Homo-oligomer: A and B are copies of this chain.
Amino acid sequence: MAQRKAPDVVIRRLPLYLRVLEVQDTNESPIISSEQLAKIIGTSSGQVRKDLSYFGVFGKQGVGYQTTLLSTELRRILKLNQEIRVGLIGAGNLGAALVRYHQKNRAHQPLEIVALFDIDEKKVGRKIADVEVFHTDKLANAIHEMEIKMMILAFPAENVQHIIDICIENGVKSFLNFVPASVKVPEGVKLRTSDVTLELQGLAYYT
């Protein structure tokens, strides 16, 4: 079946569905309904069905989805059925917190942070949460050799575009960006910015 291109907002919900499925006891709940999924996530059952239909995944009407099967499908769709090697640039406070947090919470995730990068010579060679810090000068080679496909950006906003360009030239396909700067990526590369200040400003609306 030809698949329609799923919008980014749909892709963002898939890991949420997956998380819900993974905490289910599959003996107790071999089947989960779109209503149940929707309720836990805080969306509508119609939204759940529509989201999953983008990938040709349909539940049985009036019954629901097979928990294990849906979980496997979601992992396949998200490419989480294979190891993905992740790098992190910026071994400062934020970078260190991110890598520690990820290592602690990753459980059986195939996303592995394999290298940290920093321009500070004093940090190079050290390990944070068992991940070695390399000099940013070695970025191009390291990405290539370690086959890093995803990069987390957590360094002060200088030269961001230049760093991103090096990453892309060497095969990085997606970025999680914590750097408050305007940056551009070409078609076929995904960059998502996570900016605490922007988030807080948006939340001010609701105070």
A residues adjacent to B (C-beta < 8 A):
9, 11-12, 14-16, 18-20, 40, 42, 77-80, 84, 86, 92-94, 96-98, 100-102, 105-106, 109, 111, 149-150, 152, 173-176, 180, 182, 184, 189-190, 192, 194, 196-207
Contacts and interface: CB of A to CB of B under 8 A. Distances in A.
Contacts of A94: 97-98, 100-101
A98 B154 CA distance: 12
A151 B113 CA distance: 29
A166 B7 CA distance: 37
B96 A197 contact: no
A101 B93 contact: yes
Among all A-B residue pairs, the 7 with the closest Cβ atoms: A190-B206, A15-B201, A97-B97, A93-B97, A174-B203, A149-B207, A174-B206
A74 to B, nearest CB: 9
B198 A19 contact: yes
A197 B109 contact: yes
Given A80-B204, A194-B196, 8 more contacts: A19-B198, A86-B200, A93-B101, A97-B98, A111-B197, A173-B207, A189-B206, A192-B203
9 contacts: A11-B202, A14-B202, A15-B201, A93-B97, A102-B200, A111-B204, A174-B204, A176-B200, A192-B203
Nearest to A94: B97
Contacts of A92: 97
Nearest to A9: B9
B198 A15 contact: yes
Nearest to A199: B176
